[in-house]
Amino acid sequence: MQQARKWIREATSVSVLTGAGISAESGIPTFRGAAGLWKQFRAEQLATPEAFAHDPRLVWEWYDWRRSLIAGAQPNPGHLALVALERAKPRFTLATQNVDGLHERAGSENILKLHGDIWTLRCTICGLERCDRRTPLPELPPLCECGGLLRPGVVWFGESLPNGAWERAERAARECAVFLVIGTSAVVYPAASLVPLAKTSGAKVIECNTEETPFSADLHKSFREPAAELLPQLIA
């Protein structure tokens, strides 16, 4: 812990990758693991463009339910520790796979949303995007003014990540002195590839996860603790 704190304290450039685990203690379910969403629901029936084309209402019911859970949740000390870290560092980038918006609500500013945002709705016909925080939504599936079907503004399996955000995340992983990997199973690509990229580019890579991940053994430090408990200590 002392060594990891020193690396963080001395770094002028820090990049972070977060996943569902950082929001677990805010009461938002993760995807994988014993209590994960994919134990209860099938990813291919809900988080693919094919699933949406087949049954948009079913997919929307699932997103509408998740939006209601997220609306009732609050950022936790893990999110807040990253806000403090951003304020303390001249160069700081936070890439998140989360669509819940809790980093923003905590006060983080420089956020790269690799998998989109659950509060954004995007028209499948005219491409118009808008933020809609109503929960529940008044009609499912929601429709655009042009008559087109609106979809959640998130990245499903088989879809590309938002171009600008992905390029900036890669650059941040390549150029940082310390890379923090927090609450992600690190099995979904290309986001997971940021971890070895940061390491081979020379960063000290520090992981915070309640379970081991495919990268844990290769990192400079891997902590088995909940993010909301570890991050405030690590970053204090």
Active site residues: 115
Residue 49 binds which of Zn ion, ligand BJW, none (CB < 5-8 A, kind-dependent): none
Question: Smaller CB distance to Zn ion: residue 123 or 186?
Answer: 123
Residue 226 binds which of Zn ion, ligand BJW, none (CB < 5-8 A, kind-dependent): ligand BJW
Residue 208 binds which of ligand BJW, Zn ion, none (CB < 5-8 A, kind-dependent): ligand BJW
24 binds ligand BJW (CB under 6 A): yes
Q: Which of 160, 127, 169, 178 is nearest to 3 (CA)?
A: 178
2-10 and 227-235 helices cross at what angle (nearest 10)? 60
Find out whether 23 and 183 touch, Cβ atoms under 8 Å: yes
47 binds ligand BJW (CB under 6 A): yes
Q: Where are the beta strands (DSSP E) in 67-115?
A: 91-96, 111-113
What residues between 83 and 102 interact with ligand BJW by CB under 6 A? 97, 99
What residues between 153 and 182 interact with ligand BJW by CB under 6 A? 154-160
CA distance to 34, 141, 159, 187, 229, per residue, from 44 (Å): 19, 19, 13, 16, 33
Query: Which residue among 35, 88, 126, 187 contacts Zn ion (CB under 5 A)?
Result: 126
Give the number of other Cβ atoms within 10 Å of residue 57's Cβ: 10
190 binds ligand BJW (CB under 6 A): yes
**CB of 226 vs ligand BJW, minimal distance in Å:** 4
CA-based diameter of the chain, in Å?
A: 58
123 binds Zn ion (CB under 5 A): yes
> In what helix (H) or strand (E) does residue 182 lie, and over which residues does it extend?
strand 178-182
**Phi, psi angle pair for 35, to nearest 5°:** -105, 15
Residue 148 binds which of ligand BJW, Zn ion, none (CB < 5-8 A, kind-dependent): Zn ion
209 binds ligand BJW (CB under 6 A): yes
117 binds ligand BJW (CB under 6 A): no
Question: Smaller CB distance to ligand BJW: residue 10 or 211?
Answer: 211
